């Protein structure tokens, strides 16, 4: 009987143990999230002594185990100020904004249960374990499991959560509380975090050395970086030991306060919520494997856990000189892009990098060290802008080389900053946040940038946009031209790398837009506006067979462009008959002007002298504002063809 009774007790114990073990590793509340962003609401075994070691092998690889000698806290308290203004990406009109994610200073060991007590009357909170939220689903081969963090809704009172991989413990808030909230935690270990203004360098170094927690946070007012402890330890005996987080993160605070938030026109106490800086910190984290690339934007921003990214977070030399910082600024810049208002489709890898130039400008760093392609891309871009002919900034092959395109496309923006001040970007961002509507296509985004930068500079910048081949609408140009004087200096030739150029006076050369009748192999249309009155320089109309695009006989239409992207004053037209004319003198002409090459108004008629002298026809009503002038040849000395040496515009 005694044996049977013991057997029953033993079997019952096995059953209980089996049931308890069966829960761990199978139910979502015990540490298996599905990355759906849903949070678990189920119940788990609250026996604090039980540790689910089913993922120890994987957790050991990444993010790491916590030594059993590391003290687990019991009924420790921490207080968080949850009185925030939630600055969403929507109201800031940027790609990604920091969300209310609060560091607790505690770390959960893999598979160990965490008990969290929330005060009465506090709800709308979620607890998250794990800083590494990058989902690697679909990656092959995997260096870690795809999802190694989890979340659970919190209720007032006692809450339990575990993560089989461990990680930092965070409180996520959905709405604000006026007064700080104090929580009680059991089962976690203390993370050896550095907090700017609260932790001394000496104390922090001692904490890091004494800790067995694999990851730690570096926290400042505007940014938090999550880095591995082993890399910190490794620097202590290097040429640049990371023992000075106060100096490093004082500078990081400057970068985010001055070169991200303030440059976008954001401040902590702005009366308009749209202009208020994010109340939560930007976050960056290192990971053993990324879902995309060598680094990618998001919240948090993710960089590969290697020496480059670690140094970009922690090196005082790197952040003091901008050398080696391109990747970090690049990814945070992606978060801050305003693609729905003004950063058009071909600027995806361009406008995010403008923040690097802002930092470099503030600290006096050489732009050439920011990225190798800057020193080659800028001169090529300036050569493109300085060239002639029809251009398209977005599609021309010359502006879309594989390695240099993003850097070439930065050039016009940096030229504006250098010539008119870096406040131009602040104005652009602020206007974008307050714009009545979003822009859905590239032309409207071009127009927005053109109009707002013209407003900022109090100058009609249409010649600048024209030189760069950034297409803008005539209606917007007319609107801006009515408010501001036309740009008079060719600033598109300015080189920000050596601070030279950009001082030449703008001249508007007449162009031949179209000619309705041309004889192939006999003269050229370009000769009409080359300024050369000679036997070798002439245009000849078609004397063969008429086609739909090449007329035979009269009338013959010659459309001239002023060379200006906006209407400018035109005084008249200068003519010169072909100098070795063989009977093709032009006689009667009528002249029309237009601002859009669609709607034309007649400004006068004249009869050209039947000799080779230069003849100037000034408009009878005085100067006319135009972008296009059409000369209609109605008759000539020959009934079927005509020729001219010159047909050019007279500008006052």
pLDDT tens figures, 494-512 = 999 999 999 999 988 899 9
The residues spanned by each domain of the chain are 47-314, 337-493, 511-650
pLDDT per position as a tens digit, 235-292? 999 999 999 999 999 999 999 999 999 999 999 999 999 999 988 999 999 999 999 9
**Percent of all residues in the chain with a pLDDT value above 70, rounded to a whole number:** 93
* Whole-number pLDDT of residue 5: 43
In sequence order, what are the residues at sequence separation of 6 or more whose Cβ sits closer than 8 angstroms to the Cβ of residue 549? Answer: none
- For the cut 80, the answer to whether the pLDDT of residue 212 exceeds it is yes
43-62 burial: b if 16+ Cβ within 10 Å, else e: ebbeeeebbbebbeebbeeb
Contact 646, 572 (CB under 8 A): no
- For domain 511-650, give the CATH number: 2.60.120.260
490 is written with which tokens?
Answer: 């060719």
Instruction: Give the per-residue pLDDT at 41.
Output: 52
Q: Which residues of 393-424 are buried (b: 16+ CB within 10 A; e: fewer)?
A: bbeeebbeeeebbbbbbbbbbbbbbbebebeb
Residue 24: predicted pLDDT: 29
Q: What percent of the chain has pLDDT over 90?
A: 84
**pLDDT at residue 596, rounded to an integer:** 86
pLDDT in tens, 303-314: 999 999 999 999
What does each C-alpha distance from 32 to 38, 54, 136, 142 come to in angstroms? 12, 11, 15, 17
Place of tokens 């690339």: 293
**pLDDT at position 568:** 85
Question: pLDDT per residue over 50-60, tens digit each?
Answer: 899 999 999 99
Structure tokens at 130: 């794990």
Grade residue 43 by pLDDT with cuts at 50, 70 and 90. Answer: low
Residue 45 predicted with pLDDT over 80: no
Is 511-650 in the same CATH topology as 337-493? no
Residue 7 has pLDDT above 70, yes or no: no
Region 414-433 average pLDDT: 98
For residue 61, pLDDT beyond 90: yes
CATH of 337-493, one of 1.10.3720.10, 1.10.390.30, 2.40.50.840, 3.40.430.10: 1.10.390.30
C-alpha torsion angle, residues 10, 12, 17, 18 (rounded to 10): 110
Q: Across residues 591-610, what is the average pLDDT?
A: 95
d(CA 649, CA 652): 10
* 35 — pLDDT class (breaks 50, 70, 90): low
3-state secondary structure of 203: helix
The answer to whether 556 and 515 are in contact (CB under 8 A) is yes
Please determine, for residue 449, whether its predicted confidence score (pLDDT) is greater than 70.
Answer: yes
CB atoms within 10 A of CB 152: 25
Residue 652 has what pLDDT? 82
Confidence of residue 206 (pLDDT cuts 50, 70, 90): very high
CATH fold of 47-314, please? Answer: Jelly Rolls (2.60.120)
Contact 465, 450 (CB under 8 A): yes
Instruction: Tell me the sheet residues that pair with 558.
Output: 515, 631
pLDDT at residue 14 greater than cutoff 70: no
With 70 as the cut, is the pLDDT of residue 18 above it? no
CB 586 within 8 A of CB 642: yes
Phi-psi region of 399 (alpha: psi -120 to 50; beta: other; left: phi over 0): alpha
From residue 574, alpha-carbon distances to 212, 244, 536, 643 in Å are 86, 73, 18, 14
Pairing label, strands 114-118, 181-186: antiparallel
Q: What are phi and psi of 29, to 5 degrees?
A: -60, -20
Q: What is the pLDDT of residues 126-161, one digit of tens each?
A: 999 999 999 999 999 999 999 999 999 999 999 999
Phi first, then psi: what are they for 356, rounded to 5°?
-60, -40
- Which position has the token pair 């990656």? 139
Does residue 405 surpass a pLDDT of 60? yes
311, HSE (Cβ side, Cα atoms, 13 Å): 17
Which of the four pLDDT bands, split at 50, 70 and 90, describes residue 48?
A: confident
Using the structure block, give the residue that is written with the tokens 């598109």. 492
Region of residue 105 (left: phi > 0; alpha: psi -120 to 50; beta: else) = left
Burial of 637 (0-12, 13-18, 19+ CB in 10 A): middle
């Amino acid at each position: 009987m005694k044996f049977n009774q013991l057997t029953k007790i033993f079997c019952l114990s096995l059953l209980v143990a089996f049931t308890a073990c069966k829960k761990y590793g199978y139910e979502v509340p015990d540490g298996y999230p599905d990355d759906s962003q849903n949070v678990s609401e189920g119940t788990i075994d609250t026996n604090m002594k039980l540790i689910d070691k089913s993922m120890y092998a994987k957790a050991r690889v990444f993010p790491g185990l916590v030594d059993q000698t590391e003290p687990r806290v019991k009924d420790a308290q921490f207080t968080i100020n949850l009185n925030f203004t939630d600055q969403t990406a929507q109201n800031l009109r940027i790609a990604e904004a920091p969300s209310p994610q609060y560091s607790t200073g505690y770390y959960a060991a893999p598979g160990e249960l965490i008990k969290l007590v929330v005060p009465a009357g506090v709800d709308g909170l979620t607890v998250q374990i794990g800083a590494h939220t990058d989902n690697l689903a679909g990656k092959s081969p995997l260096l870690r499991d795809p999802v190694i963090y989890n979340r659970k809704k919190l209720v007032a009172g006692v809450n339990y959560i575990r993560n089989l991989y461990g990680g930092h413990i965070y409180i996520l808030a959905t709405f604000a509380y006026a007064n700080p909230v104090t929580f009680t935690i059991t089962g976690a270990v203390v993370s050896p975090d550095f907090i700017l203004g609260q932790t001394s360098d000496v104390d922090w170094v001692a904490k890091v050395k004494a800790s067995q927690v694999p990851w730690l946070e570096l926290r400042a007012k505007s940014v938090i970086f999550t880095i591995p402890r082993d890399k910190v330890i490794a620097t202590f005996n290097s040429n640049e030991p990371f023992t000075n987080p106060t100096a490093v993160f004082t500078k990081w605070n400057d970068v985010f306060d001055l070169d991200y938030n303030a440059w976008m026109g954001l401040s902590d106490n702005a009366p308009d919520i749209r202009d208020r800086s994010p109340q939560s910190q930007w976050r960056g984290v290192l990971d053993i494997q990324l879902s995309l690339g060598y680094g990618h934007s998001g919240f948090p921003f993710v960089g590969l856990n290697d020496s480059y990214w670690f140094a970009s977070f922690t090196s005082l030399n790197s952040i003091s000189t901008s050398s080696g910082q391109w990747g970090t600024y690049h990814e945070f810049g992606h978060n801050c892009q305003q693609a729905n208002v003004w950063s058009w489709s071909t600027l995806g890898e361009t406008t995010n990098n403008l923040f690097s130039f802002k930092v470099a400008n503030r600290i006096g760093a050489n732009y050439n060290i920011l990225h190798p392609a800057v020193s080659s891309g800028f001169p090529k871009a300036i050569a493109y802008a300085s060239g002639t002919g029809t251009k398209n900034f977005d599609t021309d092959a010359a502006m879309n080389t594989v390695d240099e395109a993003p850097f070439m496309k930065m050039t016009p923006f940096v030229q504006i900053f250098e010539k008119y001040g870096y406040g131009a970007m602040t104005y652009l961002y602020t206007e974008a946040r307050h714009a009545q509507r979003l822009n859905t296509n590239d032309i409207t985004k071009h127009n927005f940038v053109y109009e707002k930068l013209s407003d900022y500079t109090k100058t009609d910048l249409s010649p600048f946009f024209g030189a760069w081949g950034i297409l803008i609408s005539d209606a917007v140009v007319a609107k801006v031209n009515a408010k501001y004087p036309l740009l008079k200096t060719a600033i598109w030739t300015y080189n920000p790398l050596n601070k030279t150029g950009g001082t030449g006076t703008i001249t508007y050369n007449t162009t031949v837009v179209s000619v309705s009748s041309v004889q192939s192999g006999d003269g050229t249309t370009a000769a009409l506006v080359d300024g050369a009155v000679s036997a070798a320089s002439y245009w000849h109309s078609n004397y063969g067979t008429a086609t739909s695009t090449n007329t035979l006989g009269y009338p013959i239409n010659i459309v001239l462009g002023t060379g200006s992207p906006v209407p400018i004053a035109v005084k008249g037209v200068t003519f010169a008959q072909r100098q070795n004319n063989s009977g093709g003198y032009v006689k009667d002409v009528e002249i029309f002007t237009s601002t859009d090459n669609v709607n034309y108004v007649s400004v006068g008629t004249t009869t050209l002298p039947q000799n080779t002298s230069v003849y100037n026809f000034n408009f009878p009503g005085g100067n006319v504002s135009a972008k296009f002038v059409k000369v209609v040849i109605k008759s000539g000395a020959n009934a079927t063809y005509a020729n001219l040496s010159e047909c050019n515009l007279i500008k006052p």
